[in-house]
Amino acid sequence: MFRGSSLLAQFTVVSIAHLLAFGLSIYLLLPLQARYTPELAPYASLLFLPHGVRILSAWLLGWKAILLFAPTALFLHWVNFGSAGFTAVGLLGVFSGIACAAVTFWGLAKIGMDFRITGGRSVNWRDVMIAGAVASVINTFGMGWAFSHNTDTLVGYFIGDVSGLFACLFILLLMFKFTRDASESLKSEQS
């Protein structure tokens, strides 16, 4: 359904999901985290939901996800860092996040582990988690290279990305279950 939607509809869904995930991660979860883990860098969220959005977008939309994800990623980068964040290093960091998911699904397919959604392929959440972990490694290295972060911060990025993807998949699972249960309930009432 989502894959067959118009480009504008896909952009709208990806953008809203990204903005919501980022807002929850940075403005709600990160301040809570700072209370309990003040030794971590104040910008390394241990539950970074936008990674789940970028992985699911790339899984469903392939390379197109980069174009759909970039506007909100650049906007949010500007919100956090202002025009000072638009240096070569700053842009390298943000683009490692934008591209890591699509690059990962493409790279895994090239080595015979094609986890992308295709015609008759069934959904396997384990494959999505594996791709998400690999994409997080790419993103973590990109962020580390761009910003020279210490090891603790890089580990925080990895944990945040993977736990954020897991949380997004769990939320989707609950949504699908609720939708299926509601549909079955409606059918039984109509019978």
144, pLDDT greater than 90:
no
Taking Cα atoms as reference points, which of 164, 161, 171, 116 lies closest to residue 136?
A: 161
Q: Judge whether 143 and 96 are in contact, CB under 8 Å.
A: yes
Q: How far apart are CA 53 and CA 69, in angstroms?
A: 9
CA–CA separation, 92 vs 174, rounded Å?
Answer: 35
Tell me the average pLDDT of the chain. Answer: 89
102: enclosing H helix or E strand: helix 88-110
CB 44 within 8 A of CB 29: no
Domain ranges of the chain: 7-186
Residue 119 has pLDDT above 60, yes or no: no
* C-alpha torsion sign, points 113, 116, 119, 121: positive
Q: Which residue has the tokens 């972990």?
A: 133
Is the confidence at residue 1, as pLDDT, over 60?
Answer: no
Separate counts of helices (H) and strands (E) for the chain: 7, 0
Write down the pLDDT at residue 164. Answer: 96
The whole-number pLDDT of residue 21 equals: 96
pLDDT in tens, 27-70: 999 999 988 888 776 778 899 999 999 999 999 999 999 999 99
pLDDT of 120: 58
Output the pLDDT for position 137: 96
Express each pLDDT in 130-141 by its tens digit.
999 999 999 999
CB 93 within 8 A of CB 146: yes
